[in-house]
């Protein structure tokens, strides 16, 4: 099962990194000892740079653990894998699906996708679920990434696109607020934009419970305990309103809801906010005045404040900052939710999200159903209704409603909260099919493990954090008998007797052309985009409704996407987390990323140059907490939540909020912090509360 490297016949070929949402350009260059990765100087987003993950991205592609043949096993007397042909695998999988659906109904089979898949594969997964399986159950791991920000943007603006402006606007901002985002480790090639802004005189504020690599460039670092974002932002808004620092004409002409916002923040004086958060009154006034008075400004948020049961409301409050100061829709101004995964944006735009059809259409909208059904050649009545979110889908597996699951491009056993429930659920499935490059933690429970394609092997389009759609060409041939992901989907549809709906004579470009037609007239309109344009133009910002349209780099210059053209302000009453600290569990656990790892670590833990820098997760605690539990030199700690108890190596640092414990989440099995995390969900976005979990901490 060793991968063989078959490079296409060019000495230098262009592609894009497989990891974060920057989607930096790279080149695979022939060298004496084989191909190596170099940063591309032509793709405008990353300014000619790659981070450590990008520079090492080839290693997992050619890793000896790469799966290159279809594998099958039955969990009887023998648990071992054995190789089978594609014909056998697809026929048997289809047969089992048909038997289960005949017995339990179409919705007994579900699909779980990923945020790093191309737009074309994301689109096909949604179509496959609804047309080939005729099931309502599909969602994807992007639910754990961008769902709170997406819901907030839709409520405030009427449209969700990660950033309302291109990255190139950042250097023109005079005041930048970075909330719950550690750009230096999660999107390292964004840092030059921030450093250029700082060189141009910008003030940078970071809001995070930890001192991070990003906070090192900040003028002001607000070390806020998880769960207090809306309290702090209400304090800023209170000052802006009390001192008449809002953009009155903008607010009156282009927003609605200022009255409810004013009422909500009335009692959040800086003195009260200091009492609640520990953030000094002077800091609150300084940040409020600085952002309001700055000529230009940008607010960027990420998972720190979004992965909470109050994540949508937290995000809405940060959006309030941009709106009440009029800092949106003009040069050097805007709001951005910093997308985490490679295609977290495109993945939800075109069909992986439970309630959406291509183009950001709602699946329960009759007009949307009619349009997409016409493109797909079916009647609208054949389309199922909306399903449930990613974690709720796994709960339905545990409850027995879902009997079979197809997983493509994700490792939910590691990435989901309260992961012991997920492990239990996977063992109950009558059929688990995983399409991946490796035997991941999730695949250990699979009946079929099908060898899919890497980012260097799969041509297609992606949409980065700016809303820039770009083309990624094929660089390598899949090794052994591995197949392109889109081919697997289409062939399985054929085995299910629905192949007539999945005919793409010209290959992946035909899939994109159909996607573009399906998106036409939707909020995320790609209908004016073609492969030919993308290959000439270094990316096009959606919406792009006609072939002559230049794309839309800047949103909301004159109007928002609500019917009245106005943005909505929301008065936020801060609420408690689902699981606040108490005498039995007195501390707060929060999770996050490291710069040298990515998501569940399936790729980066197999990359020697990255893994050796962090072979195991290390918990960070404050010296106050270390002294409180009597931690000695070289000792480990035990972290216990209401769900599980695990032991970790520990780093004692003053760079963390004293009552907060931080652990990265890139490991599985007994090193998986998501065994401890809480599975409570935001009522709107259905985002799990990864960032707040009550724990007790002891010497191990």
**Structure token pair of residue 50:** 């790659």
Q: Tell me: pLDDT of 444 over 90.
A: yes
* Predicted confidence (pLDDT) at residue 473 exceeds the cutoff of 90: yes
pLDDT in tens, 154-193: 999 999 999 999 999 999 999 999 999 999 999 999 999 9
**Mean predicted confidence (pLDDT) in 371-392:** 98
What are the tens digits of pLDDT across the range 55-113? 999 999 999 999 999 999 987 655 689 999 999 999 999 999 999 999 999 999 999 99
Q: Are 300 and 291 in contact (CB under 8 A)?
A: no
22-55 per-position pLDDT tens digit:
999 999 998 888 889 999 998 999 878 999 999 9
Sheet holding 25-29, edge to edge: 12-16, 25-29, 36-39
- From 2.160.20.10, 3.40.228.10, 3.40.1410.10, 3.40.50.720, which CATH number describes the 147-337 domain? 3.40.228.10
Name beta bridge partners: 469: 463, 540
Question: Would you call 538 helix, strand, or coil by DSSP?
Answer: coil
SS3 230: helix
CA distance 405 to 385: 18
Strand 587-592 and strand 660-664: the pairing is: parallel
The CATH fold assigned to 71-144+342-473+483-501+511-541 is: Rossmann fold (3.40.50)
Starting from the edge strand earliest in sequence, which strands make up the sheet with 298-301, in order? 220-222, 203-207, 175-179, 298-301, 334-337
- What is the pLDDT, as a whole number, of residue 277? 97
Q: Any idea which of 218-222, 345-349, 376-380, 419-423 has the lowest mean pLDDT? A: 345-349
CATH code of 6-61, in short, is 2.20.25.90
Res. 7: pLDDT tops 70 = no
* 201: alpha, beta or left? (left if phi > 0; alpha if psi -120 to 50): left
> Which pLDDT does position 34 carry in this prediction?
81
Question: pTM to 2 decimals?
Answer: 0.96
Q: What is the pLDDT of residues 547-606, one digit of tens each?
A: 999 999 999 999 999 999 999 999 999 999 999 999 999 999 999 999 999 999 999 999
Dihedral pair phi/psi, residue 619, rounded to 5°? -80, 140
Residue 158, classed as helix, strand or coil, is coil
Q: Residue 4: its pLDDT value, please?
A: 45
> Is-contact 469 16, C-beta < 8 A?
no
The whole-chain average pLDDT of the chain stands at 96
Q: What pLDDT does 452 receive?
A: 97
Note the maximum CA span of the chain: 74
List, in order, residues 6 or more apart from 406 with CB less than 8 Å away.
109, 110, 111, 112, 433, 435
Whether the predicted pLDDT of 262 surpasses 80: yes
Query: Which SS3 state, helix, strand or coil, does residue 410 take?
Result: coil
Coil, strand or helix at 83: strand
Mean pLDDT, rounded, for 138-145: 95
> Rounded distance, CA 645 to CA 589, Å?
12
Mean per-residue pLDDT, 604-616: 94
Q: Between the CA of residue 77 and those of 74, 423, 441, what are the distances in Å? A: 8, 21, 21
Q: How far apart are CA 436 and CA 454, in angstroms?
A: 9
> Which DSSP string corresponds to 620-657?
EE-HHHHHHTTPPTT--EEEE-SS-EEEEEEEE-SSB-
**pLDDT of the residue at 1:** 36
What pLDDT does 2 receive?
Answer: 39
Rounded average pLDDT over 428-446:
97
Fold for 587-699, please state it. Barwin-like endoglucanases (2.40.40)
Cα of 249 vs its chain's centroid, Å: 36
Residue 3 predicted with pLDDT over 60: no
**299 to each of 116, 233, 345, how far by Cα in Å?**
25, 12, 18
Distance CA 480, CA 339 (A): 34
Give the Cα separation of 434 and 92 in Å (integer). 14
> pLDDT for 646-699, tens place per residue?
999 999 999 999 999 999 999 999 999 999 999 999 999 999 999 999 999 999
Assess whether pLDDT exceeds 70 at residue 619: yes
Q: What are all long-range contacts of 526-533, with beta carbons under 8 Å and residues at least 24 apart? A: 526/119, 526/359, 526/469, 529/461, 529/469, 531/461, 531/471
Amino acid 35: pLDDT: 86
pLDDT in tens, 503-549: 999 999 999 999 999 999 999 999 999 999 999 998 999 999 999 99
Q: SS3 for 257-313, per residue?
A: CHHHHHHHHCCCCHHHHHHHHCCCHHHHHHHHHHHHHCCCCEEEECHHHHCCCCHHH
CB 121 within 8 A of CB 128: no
Distance spanning both ends of the chain, measured CA to CA: 40
Where do the structural domains in the chain lie, given as residue ranges?
A: 6-61, 71-144+342-473+483-501+511-541, 147-337, 587-699
For 438, phi then psi, to 5°, come to -135, 165
What average pLDDT does range 287-296 have in this prediction?
Answer: 98
DSSP character for 505?
T
Considering the chain, what percentage of its residues have pLDDT values greater than 90?
94
For residue 694 the two structure tokens come to 């009550």
Instruction: Report the candidate in 40, 20, 202, 201 with the shortest Cα–Cα distance to residue 115.
Output: 20
């Amino acid at each position: 099962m060793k991968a063989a490297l078959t490079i296409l016949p060019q000495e230098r070929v262009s592609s894009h990194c497989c990891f974060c949402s920057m989607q930096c350009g790279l080149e695979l260059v022939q060298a004496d000892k084989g191909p190596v990765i170099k940063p591309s100087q032509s793709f405008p987003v990353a300014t000619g740079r790659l981070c450590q993950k990008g520079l090492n991205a080839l290693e997992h592609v050619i890793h000896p653990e790469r799966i290159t043949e279809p594998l099958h096993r039955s969990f009887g007397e023998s648990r071992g894998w054995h190789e089978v042909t594609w014909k056998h695998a697809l026929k048997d999988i289809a047969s089992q699906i048909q038997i289960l659906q005949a017995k339990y109904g179409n919705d007994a089979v579900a699909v779980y996708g990923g945020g790093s898949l191309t737009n074309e594969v994301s689109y096909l997964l949604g179509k496959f679920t609804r047309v080939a399986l005729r099931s309502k159950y599909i969602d994807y791991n992007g639910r754990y990434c961008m769902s709170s920000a997406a819901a907030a943007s839709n409520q405030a603006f009427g449209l969700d696109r990660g950033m309302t402006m291109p990255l190139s606007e950042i250097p023109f901002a005079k005041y930048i607020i970075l909330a719950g985002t550690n750009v230096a480790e999660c999107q390292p090639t964004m840092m030059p934009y921030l450093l250029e802004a700082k060189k141009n005189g910008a003030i940078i504020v970071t809001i995070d419970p930890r001192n991070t690599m990003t906070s090192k460039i900040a003028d002001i670092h607000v070390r806020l305990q998880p769960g207090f974002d809306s309290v702090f932002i209400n304090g800023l808004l209170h000052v802006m309103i009390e001192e008449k620092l809002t953009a009155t004409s903008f607010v009156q002409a282009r927003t609605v809801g200022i009255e409810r916002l004013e009422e909500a923040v009335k009692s959040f004086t800086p003195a009260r906010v200091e009492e609640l958060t520990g953030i000094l009154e002077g800091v609150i006034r300084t940040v409020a005045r600085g952002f309001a008075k700055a000529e230009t400004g940008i607010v960027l948020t990420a998972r720190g404040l979004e992965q909470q049961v109050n994540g949508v409301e937290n995000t809405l409050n940060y959006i309030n900052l941009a709106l009440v100061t009029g800092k949106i829709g003009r040069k050097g101004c805007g709001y951005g939710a910093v997308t985490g995964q490679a295609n977290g944006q495109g993945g939800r735009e075109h069909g992986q999200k439970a309630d959406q059809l291509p183009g950001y259409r709602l699946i329960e909208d009759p007009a949307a159903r009619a349009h997409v059904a016409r493109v797909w050649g079916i009647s609208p009545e054949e389309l199922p209704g909306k399903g449930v979110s990613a974690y709720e889908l796994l709960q339905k597996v545990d409850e027995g409603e879902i009997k079979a699951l197809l997983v493509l491009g994700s490792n939910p056993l590691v990435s989901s909260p309260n992961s012991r429930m997920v492990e239990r659920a996977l063992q109950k499935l009558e059929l688990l099919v995983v399409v991946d490059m490796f035997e991941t933690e999730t695949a250990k429970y699979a009946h079929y493990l099908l060898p899919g394609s890497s980012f260097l092997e799969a041509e297609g389009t992606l949409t980065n954090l700016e809303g820039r759609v770009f083309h990624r060409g094929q660089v390598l041939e899949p090794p052994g008998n591995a197949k392109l992901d889109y081919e697997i989907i289409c062939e399985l549809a054929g085995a299910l007797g629905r192949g007539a709906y999945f005919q793409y004579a010209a290959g992946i470009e035909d899939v994109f052309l159909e996607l573009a037609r399906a998106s036409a007239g939707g909020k995320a309109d790609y209908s004016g985009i073609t492969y030919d344009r993308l290959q000439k133009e270094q990316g096009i910002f959606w919406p792009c409704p006609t072939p002559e349209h230049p794309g839309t780099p800047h949103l909301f210059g004159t109007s928002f996407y609500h019917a009245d053209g106005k943005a909505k302000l929301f008065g936020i009453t801060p609420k408690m987390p689902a699981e606040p600290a108490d005498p039995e569990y007195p501390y707060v656990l929060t999770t996050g990323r490291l710069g040298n790892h990515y998501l569940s670590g399936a790729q980066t833990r197999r990359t020697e140059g990255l893994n050796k820098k962090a072979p195991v997760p290390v918990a960070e605690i404050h010296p106050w907490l270390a002294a409180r539990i009597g931690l000695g030199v070289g000792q480990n700690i035990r972290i216990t939540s209401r769900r599980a108890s695990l032991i970790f190596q520990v780093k004692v640092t003053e760079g963390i909020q004293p009552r907060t414990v931080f652990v990265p989440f890139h490991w599985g099995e007994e090193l998986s912090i998501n065994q401890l995390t809480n599975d409570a969900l935001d009522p709107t976005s259905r985002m799990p509360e990864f960032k707040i979990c009550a724990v007790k901490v002891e010497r191990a």
